[in-house]
Structure 1
């Protein structure tokens, strides 16, 4: 990947965040995704790891190609010799001379099963790196969606607390007026004031939740978050996921899961590592071509020059390495068994997650509809309680309880909607169907 291509996500992120800052617009899910792609550090690390893994392939191929080397040496020699001369008198000689040698060697592997196994292992490791990168992209979609929805949920809770506070303030005002007019009791005033005091504490907690949720989202997108596009309830589809059968979603997840592809690639790499280790028992055969030139290469032929060319084959047969080869084989077999077990565990875990998210979607629809009815019923209860209180059949406490119950129902409904959307996004992501197009569809459920 070129430097220009690596800078594209960062440029896109800067453009999105600059546009939001200039227009004071609410950040939607698709804009958050574009920013998160450039900012998320886990995804950045996965990209770098995938790039590093891709370099294994040219390195493995290079081992099967001709290896060309050249060597040059120049030496200054000092020779002292002594030999018997005339009448046995020792004669000493002291000589200085320069020697040189040059060689050009070409070696081509002909039979090296270890190198071919390493090439297949490199292909598997490259596939594993690409699958891990896709897994991190999938996880980023889930983390971003969860952080976005949690921020929306915190804002919705803060809004509901404020709405409830207005209702309690109105009831406190009514209680005080009734007590002053002699038609109410001090208990009604104290009960209304107690609800407001509790609401104040809840408002502080809700504000802290909003700040924390926005901070968590800002860590993903790489910039402070001021305003979010909320879910438009009228646009949110409450439909059973298609296909409607869990078995089909499980099949789709197994076919598309990058986690399973990564596990399968790791298992293949481990099996090739076994073949690499077993190749330590096999002989190797290389073709060799060499051209060499030497000058004064031995003290008996000082000032002599030689040029030699050779072509041949070299056979190397391993005999004994102290048991190291057998140890490496056992180690590789254990790693292959571990990789196979990890793959099976990943497959089981994937099935469990798909099952959980599928039920989260299907049961979430029923829960949302039930809570929508509960909200309508509690709204009616509040109205009835107010009319009954005016008629003298109910007290301020009954109205406060009804308001409290309505606030709880509204909170549970908002949580159920967010949980439904999150389960649907996770289900699609696990089935490999959560690309930018699907994310744009979910983004269409937000209010502008």
Structure 2
């Protein structure tokens, strides 16, 4: 048995195994996983979304704490002590009581605390939306990767099937002296090349299938690419110009909303720190039950008054807090401007790239059709003995290269549309 024959037989067995379908050990439910259904499952299972929701709950708790500043505060106390009761005597003093206080005037401190907390809540809500958007995007990317690799494997499988038929014909001719060993070697080399490309694509399919399973929790394989393309087009309706895309990105992207929420919170904190030297006025009422050591009896005491607290000296701590708040605000404002610049650039590039890919796809399809016509013409000449095997092989490879270019361009366009959905926050599950 020749080296070429052994290579052909080994490659045939291995390629048949690699093109057999889903990875070993992967179960399928018999029903394909729809694009939008998969996005919803990925978002529902994403741990990043759960973490963002936990941070949102923390921000809401901070808001409830800020709201409590303007509400009555009730506390109980107990005291005991011994000390002077006059010039010549001392006594034991035991007290049990309740203290009730209510802020009546604080120069807007409680209001600003609520505004700062509300800004943090808004920021955390947009952070949750961003994580939902990202989880959906990661799943969608794996979904499209699986579909693209499967389509390319189909093209490779067609090439391999063609060269298998050619190998059978060349083998028959070789026995009768109608072909050379060089012709046979060329065919076997093409079969080995197809096997190698199929193995690489099988790895890509398995990797994408693993991500799909981990994100969705469903062993089902993706549906046909038409479902994903229809979902992408429906979500991008209304974005006809580059100005539409940029405006949508700057208004709807969750990171923009998160940054603005952070700025509102820091503005309130800065204003609150600037008023930290102003007094806080509270009405205080105390009801206590007191043991009188002189009369050896218990009695009640009531007291109502006004407490005014004003910081006089803090070792420059108040100035430092005010400067810190201003510095953080300046950082967030510059971050917002940088984010707006980057999103505008990304959105414009993504839109123009999608237009370019649409035009490229039409031309790639035309090239593939022309290469198919050329291959069929060369194949007809070869069958009539007017052409050579190397020319036939080159024509077949050129046609398949053009077909693979069509697949790559079509999925590059779909990924670009997916990127536009991410930038404009148009994922079907991007918002609660």
Structure 1, unmatched stretches of 5+, are 1-20, 84-94, 439-448
3-state DSSP of counterpart to 2:305: strand
| 8 Å CA contact 2:364, 2:405 repeated in 1 | yes
Indicate conservation of the 8 Å contact 1:40/1:222, yes or no: no
> Displacement, 1:321?
0.5
Query: Which residue of structure 2 aligns with residue 307 of structure 1?
Result: 300
| SS at 1:280 equivalent | coil
- Within 5 Å, give how 1:16-415 maps onto structure 2: 24-73=30-79, 100-112=94-106, 113-223=108-218, 225-232=219-226, 242-296=238-292, 301=294, 303-415=296-408
Does the CA-based 8 Å contact 2:374-2:395 persist in structure 1?
A: yes
Instruction: Give secondary structure in 2 for the equivalent of 1:386.
Output: helix
Q: CA deviation at 1:219?
A: 2.0
Q: Secondary structure of the residue that 1:350 maps to in structure 2?
A: helix
Distance in 2, matches of 1:22 and 1:211, equals: 13
Change (3 A) 1:437 1:308: closer
Deviations 1:294-331 (A, max 9, x none): 103x6xx2514442212221111211111111111111
TM-aligned CA deviation for residue 432 of structure 1? 3.4
Q: Please give the alpha-carbon distance, in whole angstroms, between the structure 2 residues aligned to 1:376 and 1:355.
A: 32
| Alpha-carbon spacing, 1:281–1:98, altered in 2? closer, same or farther (3 Å) | closer
Query: Are residues 166 and 186 of structure 1, via their aligned partners in 2, closer, same or farther at CA, if it must alter by over 3 Å?
Result: same
Distance 1:122 1:167, change over 3 A: same
Length, aligned pairs only: 400
Residue 12 (structure 1) aligns with: none
Sort the Cα spacing of 1:375 and 1:176 in 2 relative to 1 into closer, same or farther, 3 A: same
Which consecutive residues of structure 2, in runs of 5 or more, have no partner in the other structure?
1-26
CA contact (8 A) 1:249 1:431 kept: yes
Greater relative contact order (CA < 8 Å, ≥ 6 in sequence)? 2
Q: Is the 8 A contact 1:284 1:317 kept in 2?
A: yes
What's the CA shift for 1:437? 11
Q: 1:99 to 1:319 in 2, by over 3 A?
A: closer
Q: Given the superposition, is the C-alpha separation of residues 315 and 205 from structure 1 closer, same or farther in structure 2, using an over 3 Å criterion?
A: same
* Deviation at residue 233 of structure 1 after TM alignment: 9.4
Q: Is the contact between residue 172 and residue 189 of structure 1 (CA under 8 Å) also seen in structure 2?
A: yes
The corresponding residue for 1:424 is 417
Q: Which residue of 2 aligns with 1:446?
A: none
Corresponding residue number in structure 2 for 1:11: none
Distance change in 2, residues 1:371/1:244 (3 Å) = same
Instruction: Name the CA distance, whole Å, in 1 between partners of 2:227 and 2:181.
Output: 41
Bigger mean CA deviation after superposition, 236-245 or 36-45: 236-245
Q: Distance in 2 between matches of 1:403 and 1:271?
A: 67
Counterpart for residue 12 of structure 2: none
Bigger drift between 419-428 and 38-47 goes to: 419-428
Q: Distance in 1 between matches of 2:213 and 2:339?
A: 31
Alpha-carbon distance, 1:408 to partner = 1.7
Instruction: State the TM-score, normalizing by the size of structure 1.
Output: 0.82
Residue 386 of structure 1: CA displacement? 0.5
> Is the deviation greater in 172-181 or in 357-366?
172-181
Distance in structure 2 (CA, Å) of the matches to 1:242 and 1:74: 74
> Cα deviations across residues 377-398 of structure 1 (Å, max 9, x unaligned)?
1211221111121233321222
CA contact (8 A) 1:175 1:396 kept: no
CA contact (8 A) 1:171 1:400 kept: no
- How far the C-alpha of 1:250 sits from its partner, in A, is 1.0
Distance (Å, rounded) in 2 between the aligned partners of 1:110 and 1:234:
60
What is the match of residue 91 of structure 1? Answer: none
Distance 1:145 1:188, change over 3 A: same
Kindly tell me: are residues 235 and 210 of structure 1, through their superposed partners in 2, closer, same or farther at Cα, counting changes over 3 Å? closer
Distance 1:208 1:308 in 2: 83
